[in-house]
Amino acid sequence: MRFKAVLTSLLLTLLFTGCAKTTVVTSDQASKVQVFYTAPSQQQYEELGLVSTQTGQTIFHDRSNEGMLIKLQEKAYKMGADAIIVRSVDESTWGFVGDNSTGFEKGKATAVAIRFKS
């Protein structure tokens, strides 16, 4: 009896998780989002919203400008953007920095996601 209940719950779990849909944005897809540092003057566009990212403070996070731009592109891609206009990119260090001491680095970036008008 107990075996039947375990088997039934296992089958139901597999059934429901097998139907779940996930959307993964790869860097290849997000790289199609153009990066501007000033508003594009050659094309009309509409603003979709603000995108921002903040990196972690450990050695395992990419705190580089390029890494933060990739994160902005990924977020903008999910919004359906054609491009982003970068507003700010900041790499900062906090903690004790100097002789024989280590500070913790973190970064944050902000951009406007835009879609070009046809």
- Report the number of distinct structural domains present in the chain: 1
* In-domain check, residue 8: no
**Residue ranges making up the domain that contains 102:** 25-116
pLDDT at position 58, please? 53
In a domain, 3, yes or no: no
**Which amino acid is residue 58, in one-letter code?**
T
List the Cα angle 75/51/43 in 5-degree steps: 90
pLDDT tens track, the chain, 118 positions: 687 776 677 666 655 555 544 444 556 788 899 999 999 999 999 999 999 998 765 555 555 778 888 999 999 999 999 999 999 988 766 555 556 555 556 788 999 999 999 8
Among the listed residues 66, 76, 86, the one whose alpha carbon sits nearest the alpha carbon of residue 30: 76
Write down the pLDDT at residue 61: 54
pLDDT reported for residue 40: 93
pLDDT at 10: 65
Q: Residue 1 has what pLDDT?
A: 67
Locus of tokens 């979709």: 48
Measured in degrees and rounded to the nearest 5, phi and psi for residue 67 equal -65, -40
3-state DSSP of 65-93: HHHHHHHHHHHHHHCCCCEEEEEEEEEEE
- Confidence at residue 78, expressed as pLDDT on a 0 to 100 scale: 95
Query: Which pLDDT belongs to residue 95?
Result: 59
CATH number of domain containing 75: 3.30.110.70
Whether 19 is covered by a domain: the verdict is no
User: Per the domain annotation, does 71 fall within a domain?
Assistant: yes
List the structure tokens of 6: 């375990």
The CA distance from 64 to 86, in Å, is 15
Q: Is residue 36 part of a domain?
A: yes
